[in-house]
Structure formats: C-alpha cells, structure tokens
Structure 1
Amino acid sequence: MNLQATRRSAKLTGVLFIVAAISSIFGLLLYDPILNGTDYLSEGAKHDNQIIWGAIMELILVVSAVGTAVTMYPVLRRYSERIALGHLCFRFLEAVIITVGIVSILSLLTLSRDFTAAASPDLSFYHASGTLLIAIHDWTFLLGPNFMLGINTMMYSYIFYRSGLVPRFLSILGMTGGALVLAAALFEMFGVFEQVSVWGGLLSLPVAANEMALAVILLARGFNESRLNRLFTPNNGTTSAL
C-alpha cells in the first residue's frame, strides 16, 4: 500500500465513520414503534415499511463499521500487526452482533404481522415471544455498539497514540472514550443503571465525539504526512513492539 493509496484510504475511512453514525441514529429512530410502543404487537405491523427501513439503516451501519476496519487495517498493521488484526476481528464481532439484533427486530415484525392477522390470537404466547425478541435486540445493542465498540476503539486509538498518525489529543480521547463505553456496558449488564439513561449517554459521548472528530480530520487532511513519509521510507520496518 503506497502513500497515495493510504491518503485515499484515510478519506474513505472518514466517510464510513460518518455513514455509520448517521445510519445508527436513523435505525433507532425508525425502530421506535416496535421497540418503544406500548402496543408494539399492533404498531409494528402498522409501521412495517418504517421498521424495514430501520433494518436497512442498520445493515448500512454493519457494512460501514466493517468498512472502517478494513480500510484502516493496512495502515495499522505497519505499526502493530497483532493489534491491527485484533481490531479487525473485534470490529467484525461487533458487526455480527448488530446483525443478530437486526434479525430479532425483523422476527418481531413478522410476529406483529401474524398477531394482527390472527382472528383470536393467544396474547400470552405473542407477548412472551415479543418480550424475548426485544430482549435479544437489547442485549445485542449492549454487546455490539458498546462492549465490542469499546475494545476496538481502544485498539486503534492506542496505535494512533504510539504512531502519531493523528493528533495526540484525539488518540487520548479515543482510548478514554473506548474505556468509558466499555465500562458503561459492564455497568448496564450488572444493572447499575439502565441501558438508555443519562449515565449511559454521558459515558458514550466521548467515543461518539472521537469518531466524528476522527472522521473530520481524516477527510480534511488524512493521516499525519510526516509520519506517513517515515512509514513509506525504504527499509523502514514495522514497529512490532507495539
């Protein structure tokens, strides 16, 4: 991968970070009738196209999240192949978990359609099935965009911190934000506070700010030019000690 290709990769990474953020927000908003409605079994079928669009938004999130890992890998591996590979794997795990959440929502939509079409539905069965599918989505939302996100953010931010490819403050923000969102996931798992809460939002804010700031910097000027020049100097090996 040459210097020019790395610059293109940086810009593409920035675009993918922005696409991931936007699609995740729209996905949750479009899911509202079936996730937060009091009568979700009826409301889901009434808003079926909206729910499907929400699933499409999350599929875009999955593709763009994996895309950021793929586009960053050739650069990150030149400083630490082990950490770069770990970041790639955890990013894929995050995407897989989110995909399981998408399947649970689409299954809930099918349940809602069946409920509204039934002449005399068994309420206890439908509510038990619906509760289970919502729980699957909630757990995947915790483990994917929180737990796994925290790990992979700390990984690439650590390489950025050691390599100087991006401003030092941004690397520190990434490592801090990753640790905080990971801590938030653990607190939520043990019931210290709810998943959607003020504390959860506050602990997730730094990692969101890091991704958006990183996207802007990569789009505006890419990775640090002097560091890249050193990286692509002939006979310059990787920093495997990272």
Structure 2
Amino acid sequence: MVPSSYSPLHRMVTSQLETGHTMINARRIARRIGTLMLAAFLFYGIGSSLATTASAGALLTTGVAMMLLNSVAVVAIGALMLPILRLHAPAVAVGYLATRIFEGGFLAVGAIALLVGVSGANFLAYNIAMAGLGIGSLFFCVALYRSRLVPRFLAVWGFVGYASFAAGCFLELAGVAGAGLVSTVPGGLFEIFFAIWLIARGLGSTAAITVTARA
C-alpha cells in the first residue's frame, strides 16, 4: 500500500498550499515595499523641511533623524526587491539595490551636513543622490516592463519620470536653478502611485514564481 504522504491527492494539496503560501509571501513583500516608499517620501519631505529651516536645537536634530530614517528605508526597498527581481533580471536586481544604497548614502551625507551647518553640501549630495536614483531606476523600469510584474503603463510612466528626474538634477548641478524641483513632479507622482499600487494590488503572478524558485 502506498503511504498517504506520497499519494497524488496529498501531493496536489501540498502543492496548492505551498503555492498559496508563496503568493501570500510575495504579496506581503510588495506591501512592505510600498509602505517603505510612502514612509521614505514622508521622512525625507518632513525631515528636510525641518532641517533646512531650523537653525539649531531639537527641530534640527529631529529633521536630520527623519532624513536618516529615509536613507534606511530606501536601502530596505532595494533589498526587498532583490529576490523578486533577481530571476527576471539578475544584473538589474543587483544594480537596483546598488542604486538605492548609493541614494541612501548620499542623502545621509547631506543630512549630516545640515546637522553641522554645511547646507551647500546637502544641496550637492541631494542632487547627486537623485541623479543616481534616476539613472539606476531606468533599468529597473525596463525590467518591470519586460517581466510584467506591474502593468506596462506603470513601467513606462516610471521610466519617463525617472529620466526627467535625472535630467533635472544634472541641470541643477550645472547651475539651472529650479530645474531639479520641476523635474521631480512626474517621478515623484510615479513613486507615490507605484507605492499605493504595491500595497493595494501587489506584484504580478510572476513574483510568486520568483519567490518559489528562491525558496
């Protein structure tokens, strides 16, 4: 008699349970990424407003601390995306993590510069960080488009937004005042919408396949 643990019915049920668990894991990861993207947006937006307007004291320290939390969040985004994206585009997955580390590192340098009263260094660090994010995220959006992890219109929107972001930051570094601020609009709106999409809808079914392969 064949043990029940090896019966076709048992294998089918086990496979379905494992698939369901994998999809739940992929959905959980997507929600975490989306939540971190929104948190990073708030951390840096509120933190930089406090740090750049406060002369000294608790407000300045609070602002800088929030900016540093943003750096932690953006690196975590790259780390969480790594296992999902790796099987679709291994080099892009590693490159995206490196991009987020680059971004987080320079933004942290800028935050510390504000703490010690060197606002010009923060301006430089911010634009270098955002230019790097814009360039690195172009490959990320191409990978999203090809893998169909998200609807293709969203990947195209991201590509255009990040390209605009990078161009504006380079112009800002070249002395075109205000170019960086204007160029953040399409990219910033994409990141907010993308974050909400990940929280509400998650990633495509291929994300579950990726997590299965990594298990």
The TM tier, using the shorter chain, reads: 0.7 to 0.9
Asked whether the 8 Å contact 2:135–2:162 carries over to 1, the reply is yes
What is the CA distance between 1:209 and its match in structure 2? 1.0
Structure 1, unaligned stretches of length 5 or more? 35-43, 109-132, 238-242
Structure 2, unaligned stretches of length 5 or more? 1-20
Asked whether the 8 Å contact 1:104–1:134 carries over to 2, the reply is yes
Asked whether the 8 Å contact 1:84–1:155 carries over to 2, the reply is no
Structure 1 residue identity aligned to 2:89: S
Name the SS of the counterpart of 1:31 in structure 2. helix
Name the SS of the counterpart of 1:72 in structure 2. helix
Q: 2:97 aligns with which of 83, 88, 98?
A: 88
Q: What is the CA–CA distance in structure 2 between the aligned matches of 1:103 and 1:233, rounded to whole Å?
A: 41
After superposition, the C-alpha distances for 1:31-79 in whole angstroms (9 at most, x for unaligned) are 2335xxxxxxxxx23xx11000101110110111111111111011110
1:230 to 1:61, Cα distance in 2 relative to 1, 3 A: closer
- Residues 1:214 and 2:194 are matched in the alignment: yes
Asked whether the 8 Å contact 2:36–2:73 carries over to 1, the reply is yes
Asked whether the 8 Å contact 2:52–2:114 carries over to 1, the reply is no
Percentage of pairs with the same residue: 27
Moved over 4 A (4+): 229-234
Structure 2 residue identity aligned to 1:50: L
Q: 1:138 aligns with which of 123, 128, 131?
A: 123
After superposition, the C-alpha distances for 1:198-234 in whole angstroms (9 at most, x for unaligned) are x433311111111111111110110123x34555677
What is the CA distance between 1:151 and its match in structure 2? 1.9
Residues 99-178 of structure 1: matches in 2 within 5 Å?
Answer: 99-108=108-117, 133-144=118-129, 146-178=130-162
TM-score (norm: length of structure 2): 0.84
Structure 1 residue identity aligned to 2:69: I
What is the CA distance between 1:99 and its match in structure 2? 1.1
Residues 7-156 of structure 1: matches in 2 within 5 Å?
Answer: 7-34=27-54, 44-45=55-56, 48-108=57-117, 133-144=118-129, 146-156=130-140
Which structure has greater helix proportion? 2
Q: 1:205 aligns with which of 174, 185, 190?
A: 185
Asked whether the 8 Å contact 2:84–2:210 carries over to 1, the reply is no
Q: What is the CA–CA distance in structure 2 between the aligned matches of 1:63 and 1:7, rounded to whole Å?
A: 22
The residue that corresponds to 2:203 in the other structure is 223
1:224 to 1:188, Cα distance in 2 relative to 1, 3 A: same
Aligned length: 194
